[in-house]
A and B are shown apart, each in its own frame.
Chain A
């Protein structure tokens, strides 16, 4: 088979060559009956081959299309699955964040309670010492029995104040520790982000 003149037609060179040949035969006036019969025979064989090739290529083409469609469907399914997993992850992330926030709050609350406990104990001891060493001596010297009873009632006021201020002080201390924990968390996050950006 000769090299094709038009390289863009190389896939159909056989077919084109046969077409040119039989066009020539049809246009020729000086062929014998036998030559025409031989040409028709060859044309029939070529046509049979061409029909067979067409069927083969159609069948192969259909099969490849089916394979491609199958691959596309699989990709679609995987894409949908990935989306579902992403959504689940996002929900889980939100739950995790809420849990972390609650843990942070609980930890800060515990710290605040410990702080308040120590604060109250110190204050109670301080008021007792003040009463024992300073106020009672002063009252014994300058006050009557009724006045001493009154003084005792007055001595309860600091303790009552301490008890009433417990809750507000605890709330303030808890918020302080929560803010501190959030600042530490933000600092940690930015350190991690810087590390990732650097790598």
Chain B
């Protein structure tokens, strides 16, 4: 089954989302403090659920690159990471890349917190560009 990509442009308070099996790009980039986190993240979680339940898909490497996210987004990010962890536990090759801007110790430490709660390969990557 070929899964349709989920692509959402960034806005002032939501990140750019690109989940595209065809190009093997899976990324969440920008700021995340939507007025209604449930409304924004439900399609994303549904997409990941469909991806992991689809037996035709291989491994996945997901890039997270936030400048800021609010607490409810933190919960949804955790859910996405748990999905990836569960998929990794089935034997699929999964990896997470957590990007943080240089000198942004808050985002680095948030990545370290998430990394500590998972066993899936989790890489912390410093970036120097701005979005």
Interface of chain B residues 42 through 91 with chain A (CB within 8 A): 42, 45-46, 49, 68-72, 74-76, 78-79, 82, 86
Q: Binding site of B, secondary structure by majority: helix, strand, loop or mixed?
A: helix
Determine if B72 and A64 form an interchain contact, defined as CB atoms under 8 angstroms apart: no
Question: Complex formed: what's the CA distance from A60 to B111 in Å?
Answer: 9
Question: Is B71 a contact partner of A11 (Cβ separation < 8 A)?
Answer: no
List A residues 63-110 near B (Cβ within 8 Å): 63-64, 66-68
Q: Which residues of A contact B109 (CB under 8 A)?
A: 63
A52 at interface by CB-CB < 8 Å: yes
**B113:A56 contact, CB within 8 angstroms:** yes
Give the distance in Å from the alpha carbon of A127 to the alpha carbon of B109 in the complex. Answer: 98
Residue of A nearest to B71 (CB): A61
Chain A contact-residue range equals 20 to 34
Among B1-54, those with CB < 8 Å from A are: 37-38, 41-42, 45-46, 49
Q: Number of residues in B with C-beta < 8 Å to the partner?
A: 27
**Main DSSP-derived SS at the A contact region:** helix
Closest B-chain residue to A70, C-beta based? B106
A60 touches B38 (CB 8 A): no
A49: shortest Cβ distance to chain B, in Å? 9
A residues within 8 A CB of B78? 53, 56-57
**Pairs A-B, 9 closest by C-beta atoms:** A61-B71, A67-B106, A60-B74, A63-B106, A60-B110, A11-B75, A56-B113, A10-B42, A59-B113
Interface residues of B (CB under 8 A from A): 37-38, 41-42, 45-46, 49, 68-72, 74-76, 78-79, 82, 86, 106-107, 109-110, 113-114, 116-117
